[in-house]
Structure 1
Amino acid sequence: MSSSTPVVFIHGLWIHSTAWQPWQDLFREAGYEASAPGWPGDLPSVQATRHNADALAGVGIDDITAAYRSFIAGLPSKPIVIGHSFGGLIAQKLLASGDAIAAIAIDPGQIKGVKPVPFAQIRSGLPVLKSPANRKKAVSLTAKQFRYGFGNAISQTESDRLHAAWTIPGPGRPLFEASTANFNTTSPAAVDTKKSDRGPLLFIAGGKDHTVPEVVVKAAYKLYAESTAVTDLRVFPDRGHSLVFDSGWRAVANASLAWLKSQSL
């Protein structure tokens, strides 16, 4: 692993990129050059983004992917990409397109071809999917909605604290794009899972995740069966969707670092 290997962290729906700060600090201590740019429309702080929600309205998967591809083009070398939730979907797209040398997809948003749709996932997406008009809007989560979708495996107190600290409005469009991917021949949620000339990929699943249940992550992992490139899976049985920024984040981060070391990255 070169001391200058870039690592780009990609946040998911409803969470601001600054939630990655502890990961960035840890990865820098390990010798990587870490960064966590936001999605198109995100502003530098949580509060500023909340006050400018309209800037996020209408942003879709292709827009987010293009923004990260543009950011990567300005780096001195191709990075490792680590994404959570929809960020995990974007990370897979960047790996498949050759923009990254490796990827870690943590509780990733469902890509085209994933068939399981558990009730918990449907309920977690209802704040957006309940109204077709939300496709062109930015939608915020209440503390109660966050508790179900993200904070169900932690205490109520911690869930409320994380909601207050890190949540931002999220564009509804990516959820509509992912939920209809299997019915759209040109879906932006499609990833070339058969590609073998790519870098290694690690999936991480939370066994108690409501937003992206373990069965959904495993279904995505199985789609890569025809690829001869490294594709691994790690499950944290007692963790929910907040696993990358709640009090147990370090266990997931250390597992990610260990896997990268095992791949000589």
Structure 2
Amino acid sequence: MTDNVVFIHGLWIHSEAWQPWRELFGEQGYRTYAPGWPGDRDSVADTRLHADGRTVGVEEITDSYAAFIAGLDSPPIVVGHSFGGLIAQKLLSRGLLRAAVAFSPAPIKGIRIIPPSLLRSSFPVLSRPGNKRNVVSLTEKQFAYSFGNALPAAESTELYERIAIPSPGRPLFEASSANFTRNSPTEVDTTRDDRGPLLLVSAGKDHTVPASVVAAAFRLYSTSKARTDIVTYADRGHSAPFDHGWRELADDTLAWLGRQGR
């Protein structure tokens, strides 16, 4: 049976960014999909033009992917980045996936470490309470700090122009208040023993989701008997799945899936 693979992007990145991954995974025999978040348009340009009103939160985004997955012929593998990595974990904990890979996943409830660079990356949204109901765009300078800090300036600019989109602010507010919120949308059942395998991936130079945050997530899974692995790319930033070094991460992901029999 051919495995389905669903790619999920995070804040400020369009699903088009996964196209090289889709081509590579397709060559390996997988059926691939990269649906956008609710309200995303088919292209970067169209999404930038029609961004108003996309005030969805983590639960609505997760439910939209759960509905998409329900239409597939078998439970898929999900590969997610940033908030897409958080959503991948939520889908896995619901028992909907064969396996999940989460690159620099946004913090799930229970993570208490808050590195300064994470706060600075979140500041463009969290500094204005009204952004909880709004769509927010990053400036090129903000993108360079949050995504492109491990890249040459020219490559960061090229990524910003090619794949950056406005995104709803609500998910960041939900993540920032999770530990003070009953039934937080970012809550994940990390204790399940009967879920599929999970790979958490961190980047050593990541400003947006520092490696210490991913390590804290890994510790939350310590009581589960299900397979949970973690790997760190010491010299990479938050842009790692989409910049010039994406192929290393993709090849390693394929190898890890192969070791899980996927």
Q: How does 1:202-221 map to 2 (within 5 A)?
A: 202-221=199-218
What displacement does 1:55 show? Answer: 3.8
Report if the CA contact (8 A) 2:75-2:96 is conserved: yes
* 1:222 partnered with 2:222: no
Q: In structure 2, how many angstroms separate the alpha carbons of the residues matched to 1:55 and 1:106?
A: 28
Equivalent-residue separation in structure 2 for 1:36 and 1:234 (angstroms): 24
List per-residue Cα deviations over 1:7-53 (Å, max 9, x = no partner): 00000000000100000000011111011000000000001000111
Give 1:143's aligned residue. Answer: 140
Query: 1:1-265 to 2 correspondence within 5 Å?
Result: 2=1, 4-56=2-54, 58-265=55-262
What are the superposed Cα offsets for residues 199-245 of structure 1, whole Å, 9 maximum, x if unpaired? 00000000000000000000001100000000000100000000010
Contact 1:42–1:55 (8 Å) recurs in 2: no
| Partner SS for 2:52 | helix
- Provide the secondary structure at the position in 1 that maps to 2:261: coil
In the alignment of these two chains, the number of paired residues is 262
Q: How far apart, CA to CA, are the structure 2 residues paired with 1:102 and 1:71?
A: 16
**Deviations for 1:232-264, whole angstroms, at most 9, x for unmatched residues?**
001000000000100000001111101000101
Structure 1 stretches of 5 or more lacking a match?
none
Distance (Å, rounded) in 2 between the aligned partners of 1:70 and 1:124 = 31
Q: Which runs of 4+ in 1 moved over 4 A?
A: none
Share of identical aligned residues, percent? Answer: 57
Q: What is the distance in 2 between the residues matched to 1:101 and 1:178?
A: 26
Q: Shift of residue 69 of structure 1? A: 0.4
The residue type paired with residue 195 of structure 2 is R
CA contact (8 A) 1:135 1:171 kept: yes
Question: RMSD of the alignment, in Å?
Answer: 0.5
* TM-score of the two chains, using structure 2 as the length reference: 0.99
2:53–2:134 CA contact under 8 A, matched in 1: no
What letter corresponds to residue 24 of structure 1 in structure 2? Answer: R
**How many angstroms does 1:186 deviate by?**
1.1
